[in-house]
Amino acid sequence: MRRIALLLISVAAVAGAIAFLAPRAGRADQEIYVTQIPAGYRDWKLVSVAHEEGNLNDLRAILGNDVAVKAYREGKLPFPDGAVIARIAWAYVPSEENNKVFGRDQSFVPGPPTDWYLQFMVKDSRKYAATGGWGYAQFDKDGKPAPEAKLKTCYPCHEPIKARDYLFTRYTP
Amino acid sequence: MRRIALLLISVAAVAGAIAFLAPRAGRADQEIYVTQIPAGYRDWKLVSVAHEEGNLNDLRAILGNDVAVKAYREGKLPFPDGAVIARIAWAYVPSEENNKVFGRDQSFVPGPPTDWYLQFMVKDSRKYAATGGWGYAQFDKDGKPAPEAKLKTCYPCHEPIKARDYLFTRYTP
């Protein structure tokens, strides 16, 4: 955890330096990314679950902080500032111990963390105005943030679902 | 909700009458089932997720109340009294809207509730002594409890994993 904290501080320092050195003009159009893992996300309420095939081949849980879950449950769009969505993804693996009990191959469970284990969307309509009001983040299992080139792919993929405030995941009651 | 509440009250009343009329001898060996949906379960913390193929063909989330999640995180076995595990299962369906954005068939999401939408395990080592200290429950999407014949199948299936206190699901960090 200490190494992660130090890493995050370094990343924040570099990001701060870049922001300071960057020309002021045109900043509103620049994409800004989330560089810290939101505290306590593993205790948040469940929004939904999913299985992605193909390259991803994962089992995933989507959690939301209280602001996000309230907005989901009330069907409120766009989501208010302060809403944060977490996506945790694990490798999709068969459960040998479950299958032994069932007597057939039927059970798939979370394996190790995937390459980009954690993703977050943080709503701040001013700060992240250039990307639909959401800041995007990806971290590996060690808490290392994804490189900027990777983060640049988030918003273009979410853009087609602007009508649902850029959220792929629907709340599952 | 009112209909569910009335139904649950009726079920509880019938169960009470049966308990009153039943002979006292041998009761410790009888299986006892949970007949009420534990309040607030949808707000509980995430334990894990899974996909079951075959007849079940579902996507499922496993949640736990605070006592259960604490025991899971501490690796404490057997679980203390008061622990409650919830299993919510939805039909496993492809997400056409997600696949359209991805440009390929890869996304599977929760569909409608399954036949036995909700399952619970409630730890009370005295009350449920006959079934390893856990009381079992199943409810359909309308909150109707499963018939006794169906509930009788819970414990025999969980019995092979006695070493893990009868819990199939492992906590996924």
pLDDT of A67 above 70: yes
Smallest CA–CA distance, residue A127 to chain B, in Å, is: 26
Residue that is written with structure tokens 């819990």 in the block: B167
Distance CA A80, CA B46 (A): 24
With pLDDT > 90 as the criterion, what percentage of chain A qualifies? 78
pLDDT at B102: 85
CA distances from residue A140 to A58, A113, B49 in whole angstroms, order as listed: 14, 8, 20
Q: Which residue has the higher pLDDT, A138 or A104?
A: A138
Q: Contacts of residue B106 in chain A, CB cutoff 8 Å? A: 52-54, 56
Distance CA A94, CA A108 (A): 4
pLDDT of B17 above 80: no
Question: What does pTM read for this prediction?
Answer: 0.83
CA distances from residue B53 to A22, A94, B148 in whole angstroms, order as listed: 53, 10, 25
Q: Contacts of residue A63 in chain B, CB cutoff 8 Å? A: 46
| B36-87 pLDDT, tens digit each | 999 999 999 999 999 999 999 999 999 999 999 999 999 989 999 999 999 9
Chain B nearest-CA residue for A69: B43
How many other CB atoms sit within 10 Å of the CB of residue B63? Answer: 22
Distance CA A18, CA A15 (A): 5
Sign of the torsion formed by the C-alpha atoms of B91, B97, B102 and B104: positive
Q: Which two tokens stand for residue B119?
A: 């399952």
Smallest CA–CA distance, residue A78 to chain B, in Å, is: 19
**Are A54 and B106 a contacting pair at CB < 8 A?**
yes
What integer best gives the mean pLDDT of chain B? 88
